[in-house]
Chain A
Amino acid sequence: MSFSSFFTEPGSTSRSGRFGEGLRTQGRVIIALMLREMRLRSVQSRMSYLLALFEPILHLAVMIAIFTFLGRRPDFGTSMLLFLATGIVPFFLFTHVSGRTTGAIRSSGLVRALAPVQPLDIILARALLETATLVIIGTLLFCFIYSTGVKEAAPVRPMNAVQAFAATGVLAIGVGLINGVIGAFFHLWAVIYGVSSRVLLFTSGVFYVPDFMPPQVRQYIVWNPLMHALEWFRTGFYLTYPTSLLDKPYLLGFGLATVLIGLALERVFRPRLV
């Protein structure tokens, strides 16, 4: 072998160069998977992806209707719509991202069909697509609320809302990774997780302000990381939102821990993820 061929061998590039190349490949694969997934959701009709976009908005509309019928006043601020929306957006971000990854590997039908597509890419692509969908929904929703005359819908501290959204996204993707691995083995997991995650609707403070709860209730819901995510998100919209329970390091630590556990599970079970 001559020296020139040694230098052209692809395996002989520097470590950082290989890392960059790997990252580019992963990005390419995830974007390709997201585009395919979007296309597959609109197979029946051009409207079906649009309907998927508006599903959370419909959900919210039903809740508004019920609360208006009950004659309830918002726990905080003047607008019931805005109060519920600031709760439901991070809640949906978490439940949609973490729940829909459960069947991601199986429903893609792509397990090891193409060498660059790994199970982790399939889970991440689904999680990122759901996150992107929720960003669009959230933006549209708050624009809509603003247009109905609720001026608080434009966040007073936008960075708080963005940070809280990102932290919720990390938590959701971490739990989603764990679910993605479990779901690949245990087909009923999607149903079990779907039902049990509904409990979070009541323990995360979507309808109420956690700080206004009696201490017996507070001492339990404070363990729920999603409650912290909602509190943090609302501080972006309400200047004087009470945050004595908010513990940002707890939420971030919980999120990072789930990401690490999820990645470790994926690594351990990688040969059997089918």
Chain B
Amino acid sequence: MIAVRLIDVAKMYRTARRQARVFEHLDAAFPGGASVGILGARGSGKSTLIRLIGGSTLPDRGKVRRVGSISPPIASGQAYHAALTGRENLHFVARVNGFDGEAATHFVARFADLEQVIDQPMSTYTRERRARFMFAASYAMPFDIFIADEALFGGEGAFRERCSELVQARRAQSTLIFTTRSPQMMRRFADIGAVLHGGRLYTFPNVGDAIRAYLSIDRNAPPDAGGMPDDEEHEERSIEEPFGPLV
């Protein structure tokens, strides 16, 4: 079964100075139940692809078909209102998607250790608490498809470890589609590799083949056996975050 299918998608961005043609005839299919990691250099359109899949941007032409419910990108805070409490925000997102808000709240409070602040407005959260809330909330509901743009897990210390285990657990239950520039992340979390290059998506059943193909294209890619690439990724994500961090 195919969870997400893109058919002849074209997408262009207009800015005041120039037009950027991101995709012209993009076709792609993501099988259900698998974890697909998408490698791509800077500016290859990874974020646009994730936004197209998640429906946060619409294609100029072509179709995006999804089967089942889809999560907002992992750790995106756009749906949360700073004046509402964590509980209220979770209830809203759960209600919109037809899930159990109380169960999600319970999960986030326990998992991210936020029992004391879950009923406080989110504007009062510290930076670290906010990050923990975002990541825990992203995985708190049983979506059929999870999507992530660079950031799959985050936070600090023990939470970071538990969060990465949580990603592995969700990956076993649902479809996961994520982009990354790190071969190490591919090895850890992907079942199927894909490389986005020149407006086309090349899929490799073997993750190693995808990494080799990517390294041959992108000379600036981080080396395969680096330390922890996630911090650098997190910074890159906040730069690329088009709507800014949660106020």
Interface window among B78-86, B105-113, B155-163, B224-232: B78-86
User: In the bound complex, how far is the Cα of B1 from the Cα of A29, in angstroms?
Assistant: 27
A249 within 8 A of B: no
Count residues of B near A (Cβ-Cβ below 8 Å).
26
User: Is B95 a contact of A5 with CB atoms below 8 Å?
Assistant: no
From B55, B60, B67, B95, give the contact of A115 (CB < 8 A): B55
A149 within 8 A of B: no
> Which of chain B's residues have a CB closer than 8 A to the CB of A198?
none
**CB closest residue in chain B, given A31:** B95
B70 within 8 A of A: yes
Instruction: Decide yes or no: A32 and B55 within 8 Å by CB, A9-B67, A114-B72 being known contacts.
Output: no
> Which of chain B's residues have a CB closer than 8 A to the CB of A33?
96
- Cβ contacts A108-145/B at 8 Å (1 or 0 each): 01101111110000000000000000000000000000
Majority DSSP secondary structure for residues of A touching B: helix
Q: From residue 1 to 48 of chain A, which have CB atoms closer than 8 A to chain B?
A: 5, 9-11, 25, 28-29, 31-33, 35-36, 39-40, 43
Which one of B1, B57, B67 has the highest number of Cβ atoms from chain A below 10 Å of its Cβ? B1
Q: How far is the CB of A185 from chain B (nearest CB, A)?
A: 14
User: Is B97 a contact of A113 with CB atoms below 8 Å?
Assistant: no
Q: How far is the CB of A171 from chain B (nearest CB, A)?
A: 29
Instruction: Decide yes or no: A270 and B58 within 8 Å by CB, A10-B67, A110-B78 being known contacts.
Output: yes
User: Is B95 a contact of A9 with CB atoms below 8 Å?
Assistant: no
Please report B residues at the A interface, Cβ cutoff 8 Å: 1, 54-58, 60, 66-70, 72, 76, 78-79, 81, 83-84, 88, 92-93, 95-98
Please report A residues at the B interface, Cβ cutoff 8 Å: 5, 9-11, 25, 28-29, 31-33, 35-36, 39-40, 43, 109-110, 112-117, 270-271
